[in-house]
Chain A
Amino acid sequence: MIPPFEYKTPKTLQEACDLLWDYKERAKVIAGGTDLVIALRNESLRPEVLIDITHIPELRMMRVENGMIFIGGGITHSEIASSPLIHQYGKVLSDAVSEIGSPQIRNIGTIGGNIVNASPAGDSIPPLLVLDAFATVVSIEGKKEVSLIHLFESPYKTTLKPYEILLNVQFKKLPSRMRTGFVRLARREGMAIARMSVAIALDLESGGNRINEIRIAVGAITPTPQRMSEAEEFLKGRLPDEESLQKASFLISDAMIKRSGIRPSTSYKRPVIEALFKRAVRQALEGER
């Protein structure tokens, strides 16, 4: 059962950072708690203190500023999924988080928690990667911005120090000419962890149909989230026709194998990730701008 702890609810960021500095590894930050409470319950974590950051205004804001979208770490998946702002300027993210868990989980789980939990299957991450997102990290040492991809060290491990808080994620408003797609495969339609996912952001040249830029991130199939740079480079300047997409999909499955090794599931996953990629591109091409 859940081992006892003290529960603190700082009202300011400064208070939270001070508390974390005092307690360091003896404390754990809690936002929604959908991952944390399970870890407490099976006693894989036994913190002395929980620091609830959901009463800190900076963690609970979602705003636009100078063409950048800021999402506080304490914003729930439901809030993102139903946000007109994110629908307009970061739809790939709202599409992805709307498939996390269940309505109940989405109502309390947060984007900050999803990132910091650093599951290889974390659904908010591939979309954030194709949005070229940054994370703002705060602590008693100050504030710094880190490219989101650099936060992930290994499965379930970020580069954050025990006294650091993920304050928010930020990304440039996706221009309307960039189309996005997100495809997720899981054992069930709902309440199931992603087995494989693909997030795409695509920019076609205005005159013809060639790919100006494509951003591809895969989920759940690599130890840490990654962009598929080989496929991205290959597709630059090409038409998104069957042949090019096929070749690009092979580059993606090759990258998956290179990074994750050959596993019993590889013969299943190889053709499936190739198909999911093509499906995501089709979604981007056919979908609303």
Chain B
Amino acid sequence: MIRFLLNGKEVQVEIPPHWTLLRLLREGLGLTGTKEGCGIGECGACTVLLDGKPVNSCLVLAPKVEGKEVQTIEGMGSRASLHPLQKSFIEHGAIQCGFCTPGMLMASKALLDRNPQPTREEIKEAISGNLCRCTGYQQIIEAIEAVKK
């Protein structure tokens, strides 16, 4: 039994301890917004926020989130009201195939939550653990830069 806060709501799941957080989210809870890109912590597609910090959910074993706070892409904005980052990504053409996007949004949300006015270098640093095969990153960086708190 693992109990934790998920996108602001308390959740209880019964899953084996050898499941990763990624598997818990996708298979255990049907939250497929978080993607598996490499499964070994090298692409960042599986990025979620654990106690506000970006982590590779493919490397976090499920029992580790006991009592902690997890935020996933499903908790970011809503269909009716997108998060400013999500709007900015759309406006700047920062989404092509969309596979890296949830991870990119999580990483950039974590950045803006602690540093609302990042420099371009700080933005690049914040997404340095997220690979994108489509955009070449420029549009993503511009999209993040454009969001002023």
Q: A residues within 8 Å of B by Cβ?
A: 2-7, 9, 30, 33-34, 37-38, 40-41, 50, 52, 54, 78, 101-105, 107-108, 189-191
Contact = CB atoms under 8 A, between A and B. Distances in A.
Given A2-B19, A37-B59, 6 more contacts: A2-B20, A6-B17, A7-B17, A9-B63, A103-B107, A191-B131
Contacts of A103: 54, 107, 125-126, 128-129
A107 B50 contact: yes
Interface centre among A4, A6, A33, A108 (most CB of B within 10 A): A108
Interface in B43-83: 44, 47, 50, 53-56, 58-61, 63-64, 66
A191 B60 contact: no
B53 A107 contact: yes
B33 interface: no
Given A50-B61, A102-B128, A40 B18 contact: yes
Main secondary structure of the interface of B (DSSP, over half): loop
Contacts of A5: 17-18
Contact of A104 (B47, B61, B63): B47
Contacts of A9: 63, 66
Contacts of A6: 17
Contacts of A104: 41, 44, 47, 54-56, 107, 129
A83 B44 CA distance: 25
A61 B131 CA distance: 33
Given A30-B61, A191-B128, A105 B41 contact: yes
Nearest to B52: A107
B53 A78 contact: yes
Interface string B127-142: 0111100000000000
21 contacts: A2-B19, A3-B18, A4-B16, A4-B18, A7-B17, A7-B18, A33-B64, A34-B56, A37-B41, A37-B59, A37-B61, A50-B17, A50-B61, A101-B41, A102-B41, A103-B54, A104-B44, A107-B53, A108-B59, A191-B42, A191-B129
A33 B59 contact: yes
B13 interface: no
Contacts of B55: 104, 107-108
Contacts of B126: 103
Contacts of B129: 101-105, 190-191
Contact of B40 (A4, A41, A102): A41
B37 interface: no
A9 B107 CA distance: 29
Nearest to B126: A103
Nearest to B17: A7
Contacts of A108: 50, 55-56, 59-60
Contacts of B20: 2, 37
Q: Which of A2, A3, A50, A102 has the most CB of B within 10 A?
A: A102
Contacts of A107: 50, 53-55
B84 interface: no
Contacts of A33: 59-61, 64
Given A2-B18, A103-B54, A41 B128 contact: no
A253 to B, nearest CB: 31
Most buried by A among B16, B44, B59, B129: B59
B39 interface: yes
B59 to A, nearest CB: 5
Contacts of B53: 78, 107
A38 B59 contact: yes
A189 B60 CA distance: 24
Contacts of B125: 103
B21 to A, nearest CB: 10
A6 B63 CA distance: 10
